[in-house]
Structure 1
Amino acid sequence: MIYLDYAATTPVDSRVLDAMLPFFRETYGNPSSVHRFGQKAETAIEEAREKVASVLHCRADEIIFTSCGSESDNLALRGAAMARRSTSGQKWILTSKTEHHAVSKTAEQLEKEYGFLLEWLEVNEFGGVSSEALSKAVCNDTALASVMYANNEIGTINPIAELAGIARSNNILFHTDAVQAAAYLDVNTQTLGVDLMSLGGHKFYGPKGVGALYVRKGTKLLPHMTGGGQEYSLRAGTQNVPYIVGFAEALSLAAEERESRTAHVKPLRDHIIGTVLEVIPESQLTGHPTNRLPNHASFVFKDVDGNLLLQMLDSAGFACSSGSACKTGNPEPSEVITALGHSRDWALGSLRITLGVDSTSEQVDSFVKELPGLVEKARKLNQR
């Protein structure tokens, strides 16, 4: 099998695993315990917090460890919206339909169940949110805006620093979901100017089940998980010490090796995009043609069942993903692809190919050789 789904998850880096292992059997104390076992575990967490903070160019006490990027998104939106409403009465939330469901579904729940008001930001043909779109949507009653740094489905990179600047000038909290971006883009919070930023470890060769939320000092959040006073009383629960250590090591390596990793995947990505658009009829690139993640290629093919194509690719030895979620007897196109304006006959035929440190030119050559025939076969089956 050739793995081409690094946006979904990445293998754990061996150096990350080595950093984690002692905290399963040797330094296994509860970090909330007073004795030396607990003290050692607590020290490991605080060292990890310092390591993450150095990458994000922020204070260590602005880092909250969570179970994943989705939880970080939930804490950011729900926590910030609730806190803002209780202090200032503001209740408008701004976000877009191209966001990860951890953001868009949370925003919808806040509207439906908690009485907040929700406005969907306009996106352009590449699925991006412009400064003009945010400025147009801002009102005096806006509490929070959330725009992802880079889109997980189509790879488009948003102008986060510009958007955060607009929010700041209007006294609006600004959150960005940087879960997909952190593997390849700079996550310097001072440069970006965000108030809240979500990260997830398994997108940059760390373990699954751990994430972080950057919370700018002075930003009020209502905790969404209550209990003990862990994580500055914003996220109760015994901390997952080995995973937190692994998260910090993986993020540090991603920052150190960003240029070399980008230089490795970008030519492979460009080869895939160029070949697919040239060789496969009725194919379109989704997302921005240049301002996109360096490892990310995504397409729609007219009159193709994306889920069928994935199954055919899997049988042929390639692991990829699609934007269309297939319910039994009721395939529906991805909301992200639909937001780009594609009709159903195009939107159902989405395909995402994402590369990583282990991807090779031989693997890519093999893929672009096989894909055209599989797309043609999927079209014929779809027309029956």
Structure 2
Amino acid sequence: MKDFAGSILGKVLLALLVFFLALGTLVPLTVLVTYYLKLGGVSADPQDWSAFGSVMSGSFTLLAAASTTATFLLLIWQKKDADKVVAKQMAAMQFEQYVKHRSLFKETLEDLERKFGSVFIFRDRGQLYRYFFPRNSAFEMNYNGGSYCEALIDSLQNVLDTGITLVRCKDLEHAKEFGWAFLRLNEQLGISWLQAEREGDVRVYEGHISYRGNKKTGLNLFNISSDLARSEELMITLLEFSGRENLYYTVTRQISSMERLREHLYNVVLEEDQASITFYSESDNRLRAFYELYNYCKHTARENERFFEPLYEYLEKILSGGGGEWSLSSAEQVKEVIEHSRNLVREIQLTLGIELGAAFDYRQGGVEFQEVDIKISKLST
């Protein structure tokens, strides 16, 4: 109210209001005084009263017109002031909505961090909010995410496409593309890893002089399925928050065989003498020895059946059950794997001896037993 009254328009309206009120009051008063001075006191003649009424009707008509004009100006004044108050209230509400929306977005990111065991954080939550909602500010709100959502979906599709290519063709370049695609997706999400490197973590080498060194992709050889599922869940949660969840359903291709993807990734990384894509390992030979044992048990057959089926199942559980990085994380854990593997081999030998009606000595039970014992022993090197 004070701001409007102090403005030029407010001062003009106030002056007009005073002018019309004064005019509407002074004119009838002037007529009455003049009539009294010229014609004397109260008359008893009806014609005088008729003439007096005619004079006063014009005066009061002017008074009514002045009052109406003054009232109109007063309403304009009040409306201008009310509009300004409403505008301030709307601005305050807009700012409150903006602050609340940003806060809910950050809470969603924190919930996702906790859901996955706090192994990572979103580096700059405020910046990520601006990526998703570039037009939002204290003066404008839009609850639908922008073009950044499409870019994320493209990155997710690229991860799946490169994974599918690696399943179809065991090639080092395809393995590198898969690792880099996964790294780029996590970088777009602004993820920094808090978890220490684990056995089987996939790393790609960055050769740029400013960033030279191995980069953690967020992918682990023993947890490829769960790592992909984590990325997809992060994606769908953030897309739902930004009202663009329909984009997720445009992803049309899925990896058909996680086992083959894992096998091809392992083989090309360890078989090639290169450093562009590597696995983290406490021991250079541990992963190699584990996979040699796994493949030997997988492919050694007799009468169309796996000869070391129980041992193969045990190793498969380590490899694809989501705990392989822990089972090979230290010498103590590897020792447990070795002991359990040898126990399974003894059980297989005893079972075979019973079936054939003969007892087999563990160290002299045939080529297969000698070979598997050698490969089990390599785990400790």
Normalization by structure 2: what TM-score?
0.27
More strand by share: 1
TM-score normalised per structure 1: 0.27
Higher relative contact order (CA 8 A, sep 6+): 1
